[in-house]
């Protein structure tokens, strides 16, 4: 599992950037941004959360549901352009993580909308 924290440059210590964390977390930047949007987190924290979820049983399903929730919220707000970007992120995510595909008629989880704070 990847653990990315914001490090300050102290005595020549290396700095891990957001791009480094995203590259190591198993998600792309759009997927990390969707997690950040859904959970109201900074992107660097969302990258770590995404990595954690990908290594957890049913975690990829939680990420899928976050993307679906964000798409629905964007459509409800009339932001079709953002919804289209999120649909693209969802398609990419499902192509990389087929285990996250919904097995039921709806993408809803047993808990309704996905949130890490609820589980």
Please report, for the chain, the start and end positions of each structural domain, with discontinuous segments joined by +. Answer: 18-118
Q: State the DSSP code for 105.
A: S
Q: Is the pLDDT of residue 6 over 70?
A: no
**pLDDT for residue 68:** 98
Alpha carbons 40 and 49: distance in angstroms, whole number = 12
Count other C-beta atoms under 10 Å from residue 67's C-beta: 26
Tokens at residue 85, please?
Answer: 């970007």
- Read off the pLDDT of residues 66-75 as tens digits, 9 standing for 90 and up: 999 999 999 9
Indicate the angle between helix axes 43-54 and 18-25, nearest 10 degrees. Answer: 20
């Amino acid at each position: 599992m990847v653990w990315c924290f914001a490090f300050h440059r102290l005595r020549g210590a290396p700095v891990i950037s957001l791009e480094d964390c995203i590259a190591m977390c198993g998600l792309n930047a759009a997927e990390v941004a969707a997690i950040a949007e859904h959970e109201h987190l900074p992107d660097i924290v969302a990258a770590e959360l995404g990595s954690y979820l990908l290594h957890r049983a049913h975690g990829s399903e939680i990420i899928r549901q976050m993307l679906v929730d964000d798409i629905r919220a964007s459509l409800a707000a009339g932001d079709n352009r953002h919804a289209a970007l999120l649909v693209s992120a969802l398609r990419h995510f499902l192509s990389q993580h087929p285990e996250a595909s919904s097995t039921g008629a709806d993408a809803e989880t047993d808990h309704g909308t996905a949130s890490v704070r609820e589980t």
